[in-house]
Amino acid sequence: MASDKDQLLALLQTVRFTGTVTRLYPDYSFINLNTTDLYVFLHRNSLGNEVAFDDLREGDPVSFRIKESRTHAGKLTAVKVRRADDNTDTILSHRDPVEVEITEGR
């Protein structure tokens, strides 16, 4: 049976978030969730085909999904990053009310 944490991470992976590229380095960056003090790590290898890492600039608006880092237990990383204006999926911003109830399976 999946733990509460695993269920929450699985739920997070189904939602696209919006943010702004900040602190851009040669192989990684951070994405600031819009108008919050929360940052998500972004490594150039986790982008896939949606956008080229070298095309990102500080201040670019992006949408992305979140998953748990494979190399840093307990840390979250951005994946499937797109320019925010290229997005066709549902986006969750920090202002959207969300109620999550995790219950044990039957």
Structure-block tokens of residue 11: 């739920």
> Where do the domains of the chain lie, and which CATH numbers do they carry?
4-88 (2.40.50.140)
Q: What is the pLDDT of residue 61?
A: 93
pLDDT digit string, tens, across residues 32-69? 987 778 899 999 988 767 788 999 999 999 988 888 88
Distance CA 57, CA 106 (A): 47
Contact 44, 57 (CB under 8 A): no
Q: What is the pLDDT of residue 83?
A: 86
Contact 51, 61 (CB under 8 A): no
> pTM of the entire structure?
0.70
pLDDT digit string, tens, across residues 74-106? 788 888 888 887 544 444 444 444 444 444 444
Q: What is the pLDDT of residue 32?
A: 92
The residue among 73 and 30 whose pLDDT is bigger is 30
Question: 32-64 b/e with 16+ CB inside 10 Å = b?
Answer: ebbeeeebbbbeeebbeeebebeebeeebebbb
In sequence order, what E strands does the chain have?
Answer: 16-22, 28-33, 39-43, 61-68, 76-83, 91-92
Q: What is the pLDDT of residue 86?
A: 53
Q: What is the pLDDT of residue 106?
A: 42
